[in-house]
Amino acid sequence: MTPTLRLVALAAGLALATGAQAQQAPIKIGLMLPATGTFAALGDMIEKGFKLYVQEQGGKLAGRELQYFRVDDESDPSKAIDNVGKLIKRDNVDVLVGTVHSGVALAMAKAAKESNTLLVIPNAGAGDITGPLCSANIVRSSFSNWQPGYAMGIVAGQKGVKRAMTITWNYAAGAETVKGFTEGLERGGGKVIKDLNLPFPGVEFQALLTEIASQKPDAVYAFFAGGAAVKFVKDYAAAGLSKTIPLYGPGFLTDGTIPAQGEAAQGLLTTSNYADNLDTPRNNAFRKSFALTYKANADVYAVQGYDAAQILAAGLNAVKGDLAKRDQMTSAMRKVVVDSPRGKFTISPAGNPVQDFYLREVKGNYNEFRSVAVKALADPARGCKM
Ligand code: BEZ
């Protein structure tokens, strides 16, 4: 063999070896979720759901092992840039999965856009992420904050609500869910007479509940989640308001919280992309598998984590695990019809689920399906230019 031929053979061998190694190396997944604070339980369920789907695929996606890197984001937007930087720069992850809190997720989306890292969002509904910040490398498996709010506004309008008040935290998710509710209610001829706010993650509700009592609206729309939702629902009942002023909310008000809320939650109506007792083979199999694996009941957060893994798998399967084929992968993640425990859904060009929203009622320990509030609801994706 001539020296030139030997060099060519050597280079080809090296290329093959590098390619094979790349195929075998685990895909690095950066889980940025809350492990502490008022949303800790939500983060835990998302992670469990994500890992359950992977486990059901034999522990691999598109034939590749996954290696997890975790950061507790504490639902603290002021630490978000540092936290996401640890995953992108220090750990060099291939895919970011997170998070719950919209303010933290906005920082993640900006970092993902700048570094062109793939980001799958399993909860946070910040409208800007699938609005002005939309990007081919970002997709959400959950909802936009506007969606469940709008669905509940439609339901409230159908129930004849003319004067409503809203109460929530003063941050992106609160403002956006209230906007959705207001738009839905106005379509039915009602209006919001006053919006009440407190800083995140505050739970000092007394003064605001007194104001609700004095205004006597036809209904109250409240967005709180996790530990704060437990306290709000109990305080609302303890103030005697539940007897006279119906309390409505997006599903988060009673998702994963009913045992702790006890009697105060019974009969509450909420709107969500999931209901615990959807009697479909897909949901029944999912709930059984979740219960067997974790000895706990699944909730909407677990579903959204599970579906985040499904969407990622759709992308990876389309490129046989080759992350270098980025465009092909991200386009497959947009084209997938997700066979979710919530029911099948598609992804909009902006990267947000187009999905049914259900009216649910709390009965015992479950958010039970009552009706489809709005079918195939798409977020307006205002300001998204792809
Ligand atoms: C959010 O910040 O987007 C959010 C947090 C908890 C539940 C739902 C939405």
Instruction: Give per-residue pLDDT as tens, 63-95.
Output: 999 999 999 999 999 999 999 999 999 999 999
* Residues forming beta bridges with residue 371, ordered by sequence position: 359
Tokens (6 digits) for 67? 């290696």
Residue of the CA atom closest to atom 5 of ligand 1: 101
Instruction: Give per-residue pLDDT as tens, 255-288.
Output: 999 999 999 999 999 999 999 999 999 999 999 9
Specify the pLDDT at position 16: 46
Q: Which atom of ligand 1 is nearest to the CA of 250?
A: 8
Residue 341 near ligand 1, beta carbon < 6 Å = no
Residue 247 near ligand 1, beta carbon < 6 Å = no
What percentage of the chain reaches a pLDDT higher than 90? 94
- For residue 171, give the DSSP letter: S
C-alpha–C-alpha distance, residues 304 and 299, integer Å: 9
Alpha carbon of 22 to ligand 1 centroid (Å): 36
Residue 200 near ligand 1, beta carbon < 6 Å = no
Residue 125 near ligand 1, beta carbon < 6 Å = yes
Among residues 108, 233, 123, which one has the least CA distance to residue 173?
A: 123
Residue 376: pLDDT over 90: yes
**Arithmetic mean of pLDDT, 91-118:** 98
The set of long-range contacts for 212-215, using a CB threshold of 8 Å and a minimum separation of 24, is 212/165, 212/167, 212/241, 212/245, 213/239, 213/240, 213/241, 215/165
Residue 333 near ligand 1, beta carbon < 6 Å = no
Alpha carbon of 24 to ligand 1 centroid (Å): 36
Specify the pLDDT at position 134: 98
Which among 128, 177, 252 is the best mutation to test ligand 1's pocket, defined by most ligand atoms within 8 Å of the CB? Answer: 252
Specify the pLDDT at position 386: 85
Alpha carbon of 29 to ligand 1 centroid (Å): 22
C-alpha–C-alpha distance, residues 129 and 155, integer Å: 26
Residue 229 near ligand 1, beta carbon < 6 Å = no
Q: Which atom of ligand 1 is nearest to the CA of 124?
A: 3
Residue showing tokens 């709005």: 374
Residue 173 near ligand 1, beta carbon < 6 Å = yes
State the pLDDT confidence band at 120, using cuts at 50, 70 and 90: very high
Alpha carbon of 100 to ligand 1 centroid (Å): 5
State the average pLDDT for the chain.
95
Residue 19: pLDDT over 90: no
